[in-house]
Amino acid sequence: MRGEEETDLAIRRYGDMVRRLCMIHLKHEADTQDIFQTVFLKYLLYQGEFESEEHEKAWMIRVTLNACKDLLRSFFRSRTVPLEELTNYAHQLTDDNREVLNAVLALPQKYRDVIYLHYYEGYTAPEIGRILGRKVNTVYTDLTRARERLRAMLGGDGDG
């Protein structure tokens, strides 16, 4: 069992990321709280060693996404997920922020993960493939399609 200092550091270091991953899958405050507890409980109880910070971060992403999927399969999730719930996440969102996030949330689930991991976390397609357990070619295809859809919704500015 990990100590308080270690888990607090992990919450500080990965809390925002876990929350963003929850947002693109769950959209409900109560569910997010559940996932937060589940993810960091797993971290507390995890007995393996992390080779590096990058390894630890990839583990966190995987555990969070799995926990989200498990929750979506369980009876305890909130079964309605209106996009308007986005407003609960940040009152300070500008119109542009909201437009972008709504566009991301309108994507199929598998595209949301790759878009977030690539654009925000800066992972390359091979790295995303490793984290999500998907073939690299599939990740490339997903990224391209997700980008096309986002451009169609948001209007592209040609940055590749």
Q: CB of residue 58 vs other proteins: minimum separation in angstroms? A: 7
- Rule CB under 8 A: say whether 26 interacts with other proteins: no
Instruction: Report how far residue 76's alpha carbon sits from residue 115's, in angstroms, rounded to the nearest whole number.
Output: 28
Q: CB of residue 93 vs other proteins: minimum separation in angstroms? A: 5
Of positions 28, 40, 123, 128, contacts other proteins by CB under 8 A: 40
The tokens for 89 are 């996440």
Closest CA to 114 of 140, 91, 88: 140
Instruction: Report how far residue 129's alpha carbon sits from residue 10's, in angstroms, rounded to the nearest whole number.
Output: 24
Touching other proteins, residues 42-101 (CB under 8 A):
42, 44-48, 55, 58-59, 62-63, 65-66, 69-70, 72-76, 79, 89-90, 92-94, 96-98, 100-101
Could you give the C-alpha distances from 41 to 13, 72, 74, 131, in angstroms and in order? 15, 19, 18, 20
Task: Find out whether 77 and 71 touch, Cβ atoms under 8 Å.
Answer: yes
- Rule CB under 8 A: say whether 136 interacts with other proteins: no
Which residue's CB is nearer to other proteins, number 69 or number 124?
A: 69
Q: CB of residue 88 vs other proteins: minimum separation in angstroms? A: 11
Query: Binding residues for other proteins, how many (CB under 8 A)?
Result: 71
Task: Find out whether 86 and 27 touch, Cβ atoms under 8 Å.
Answer: yes
- Rule CB under 8 A: say whether 130 interacts with other proteins: yes
Q: Given the structure tokens 């991953």, which residue do they identify?
A: 21
The tokens for 9 are 């550091």
| Amino acid found at 82 | P
Touching other proteins, residues 103-122 (CB under 8 A):
104, 108-110, 115-116, 119-120
Q: CB of residue 48 vs other proteins: minimum separation in angstroms? A: 5
Of positions 27, 32, 114, 139, contacts other proteins by CB under 8 A: 32
